[in-house]
Amino acid sequence: MTRNLVRAALFIFALTMSLSAFAATKSETVTLYHDAQLNGKTLPAGEYTVKCDTTGSTAQVKFLKGGKEMASANGQVKQLSSVPDHNQVVTQDGNGGATISEIDFGHSNTGVSFGSANMATGGQ
């Protein structure tokens, strides 16, 4: 009976750990110093909470301000060659303004890159 209980506990632990490896949620604060676009939505300069839900190599990223979703997009999880000290938002100039192309998370070797093929329908 004790062996079965130990086996069941180990199985549940292994299952829980494997599921967490494929799905994770991260919430970070970023500051935009200039207006920028994400998925066709303009984000005014200011401080935002970025919620990132990853599943495997894809991520759903939402920019929130005051608890309200301002923009969202799908992106690709990428491994960074170096670990940044702070959260970084990478922008590209285009279409008359800056467009967010990547977010790199501070003290982590992961980031999320956005491209026109990766964009999802934007939030409200």
- Mean pLDDT of the region 99-122: 78
**pLDDT value of position 94:** 74
Q: Is 67 a residue whose pLDDT tops 50?
A: yes
Between these two residues, 12 and 13, which has the higher pLDDT value? 12
- State the pLDDT at residue 111: 94
Pick from 123, 86, 91: which is nearest to 104 by CA?
Answer: 86
The pLDDT of residue 61: 97
Average pLDDT over residues 88-111: 90
Instruction: Give the model's pLDDT for residue 33.
Output: 93
CA distance 25 to 79: 16
Residue 123 has pLDDT above 80, yes or no: no
